[in-house]
Structure 1
Amino acid sequence: MSSFPDISVTVQVQHVPSHSTPQRQLFAYFITIDNRSDESWKLLSRHWDITSGDGQQFTVEGEGVVGEQPLLTPGAQYTYNSFVTVDALPGRMEGHYVMQNAWGEQARVPIAPFRLDVLPESGERLLN
């Protein structure tokens, strides 16, 4: 597997209080993948490492994202959303996508770590 192509991944996170309890916090996350390379890349699979604030860790792996394996042509952008729950705050997520070009070369595209936390003064969630 080669180093990652010129593909960027940005993440935005939103707490969903209507589906959260003190023991289980639910967050929706919105991901945008930008293909800045000069070739097409297909998203084959995802890998997430998730850590709850109490130290519990789990991994999520699977084909594609939200039931799709999008093909990103040069300059294309793909956006999707999903959700995650953590038992304690702050939570943390990071991972990678496995992408493949037209010649069958695969590459790992990192998803930078992001933190799910509470800003005490406003009750807002923080992504950093």
Structure 2
Amino acid sequence: MPEPIEIHVETAYLPERSTPGRFLFAYRVTIRNCGLQVVQLLERHWIITDASGRVTEVRGEGVIGQRPILRPGECFDYASSASVIEPPASMRGSYAFRSESGEVFEAPIASFALRLPEQPGALN
């Protein structure tokens, strides 16, 4: 059975680094190992959908050049960014982990919004 992984994401619009047609958003991710085994994050998969329905997928090894190992109860935090052509946008995905018993499993990342401050409401 996969180990329980808790994932929390916070976002912020970066107006000073944005231009028309390229809106940049920072996001901070906290990953907590709520299980009983040591796990290692292997891969990431993001799906970004902007207001026009344009979909971008991002796949890669680890996060920010790391493949963190989390013992039971430990957290790993990191910050990154994503750009979209037309906000508001939504972002969702998953992380692939391997447990110390060798099982590879996916931990889903719930959809979250990337929106300008003047764009109220959630987009899921």
After TM superposition, the score normalised by the length of structure 1 is: 0.89
* 1:38 and 2:20 correspond: no
Aligned to 1:57: 55
For 1:53-92, list aligned pairs within 5 A.
53-92=51-90
> Partner amino acid for 2:26?
A
Structure 2 gap segments, 5+ residues each: none
Structure 1 gap segments, 5+ residues each: none
CA contact (8 A) 1:119 1:125 kept: no
What is the aligned residue count? 124
* Sequence identity percentage: 39
Aligned to 1:25: 23
Cα shift readout 1:32-60 (whole Å, capped 9, x = no counterpart): 00111111110000000011111111100
The runs of at least 4 consecutive aligned structure 1 residues that moved more than 3 Å come to: 123-128
RMSD of equivalent CA atoms? 1.9
Using the TM superposition, give the Cα deviation of residue 126 of structure 1 relative to its aligned residue in structure 2, in angstroms. Answer: 6.5
Using the TM superposition, give the Cα deviation of residue 5 of structure 1 relative to its aligned residue in structure 2, in angstroms. Answer: 2.1
CA contact (8 A) 1:50 1:92 kept: yes
Using the TM superposition, give the Cα deviation of residue 90 of structure 1 relative to its aligned residue in structure 2, in angstroms. Answer: 0.8
